[in-house]
Amino acid sequence: MKDADPVARTVLLVEDSDAIRDAFTILLEDAGYGVLGAATGAEALRLAEERLPDLVLLDMGLPDTTGLEVVRQLKAAPRTASIAVVALTGRDEEADRRACLAAGCAAYVVKPVNTQKLVRDLPGWMATAAAG
Ligand code: CA
């Protein structure tokens, strides 16, 4: 039924932990979003290019590359440059936060994630990216 909704927004969830990816997929689907899952940076870049999601939730620690590198590549490609990217990280470091925001992330969310707040914040992040 959610697939039939023409205005359903799609989130690309990039996370190499299966358990976390599954938990976030359920959370996002319950909130009414379509969810694409990727476990590596390469898969994330391919899916972003093919499916043009409304937002990318991006784990910063990936097996094949860094989240920061994925953001830079998304923002450098004209097709994907306007997609909102939200960094998810286990490192609560000011230098990392600044680097993510400088690379074009809409937000920097430190784990453990407050999922209720995350779901509340998603529409605003998407709107900001669409306006920019
Ligand atoms: Ca990770």
The answer to whether the predicted template modeling score (pTM) of the entire model surpasses 0.75 is yes
Centre of ligand 1 to C-alpha 52, Å, is 22
- Rounded percentage of the chain residues whose pLDDT exceeds 70: 92
Residue 3 has pLDDT above 90, yes or no: no
Residue 129 has pLDDT above 80, yes or no: no
112 by Cβ neighbours in 10 Å (0-12 / 13-18 / 19+) ranks as: exposed
- At 26-45, the pLDDT tens digits run 999 999 999 999 999 999 99
Centre of ligand 1 to C-alpha 6, Å, is 32
Centre of ligand 1 to C-alpha 1, Å, is 31
- At 57-75, the pLDDT tens digits run 999 999 999 999 999 999 9
CATH of domain 10-131: 3.40.50.2300
